[in-house]
Amino acid sequence: MTVFFHGNFGLNRERMSRILANALKQPTLRDKELAEPFRYGAPFASAYRSWLHKSGVIELRFPIVLTRFGEVLREKDPEFRKVPTLWFIHQQLTADPERAEAWHFFMGEFRSMWTQFSVADLRNGLVMKLSAHDAKHFGPQSMMIPVIVRKLLECYTSDAGLGPLGLLECHSDETYEFSKKEADKALSTPQSLAEAY
């Protein structure tokens, strides 16, 4: 189970690509040094290394090593701006509950039950799903659940995240609605990802 891998830092493709570029340029840099250009501390770089890992771009180790998918992204879209990159990140985050359980739940189970929902609906759904792991950390009084809710919604509505895919729309009454959009094809191999560009 991996739920709170992001801490308070949401999916931000520009930050991810810059952390990755700096780490590949200077493989001996630790999290503190990787975070300095952003004026944050080591937890910032650690969170974005987690995002890169959960998105299938790097191996979980030090120094940073690209996956075969990561090699394709560095060649085809080093700044993580192109649509195939966004679909790839989305597919990686939602495919496996062991990799990013809240994302898998949100775009799988929760999406299949709700077309339109409120923040409270999502919060309750996450509590029901995650509290079995640890009621203190993921129960109704949890401090983590509101952060996870916020990061999920930001991920799919923010231009810095996966908002450009149009998978989630925020309405003026502060409800959200899933679209029926799906990727044209599964980007399940490095070759299929390379061909998508």
Q: Do 36 and 78 have their domain in common?
A: yes
Work out the average pLDDT over 162-172.
97
Rg of the chain, C-alpha, whole Å: 17
Q: Do 58 and 115 have their domain in common?
A: no
Q: Look up residue 15 and give its two tokens.
A: 């930050």
For residue range 102-142, list pLDDT tens digits in order.
999 999 999 999 999 999 999 999 999 998 888 888 888 88
Q: Is residue 97 a part of any domain in this protein?
A: yes
Number of domains comprising the chain: 2
- What global pTM score does this model have? 0.94
Q: Is residue 50 a part of any domain in this protein?
A: yes
Work out the average pLDDT over 154-168.
97
**Structural domain harbouring 75:** 13-83
User: What confidence score (pLDDT) does residue 185 get?
Assistant: 82
Q: Do 77 and 58 have their domain in common?
A: yes
For residue range 74-88, list pLDDT tens digits in order.
999 999 999 999 999
Q: Is residue 56 a part of any domain in this protein?
A: yes
Contact 178, 168 (CB under 8 A): yes
Q: Do 127 and 160 have their domain in common?
A: yes
Name the helix (H) or strand (E) containing 69: helix 68-76
Backbone angles phi, psi at 61, to 5 degrees: -165, 170
Q: Do 101 and 27 have their domain in common?
A: no
Q: Do 96 and 70 have their domain in common?
A: no
Which residue carries 């991810």 as its tokens?
Answer: 16
CA distances from 7 to 2, 43, 139, 193 (A): 11, 8, 17, 29
Work out the average pLDDT over 138-167.
95
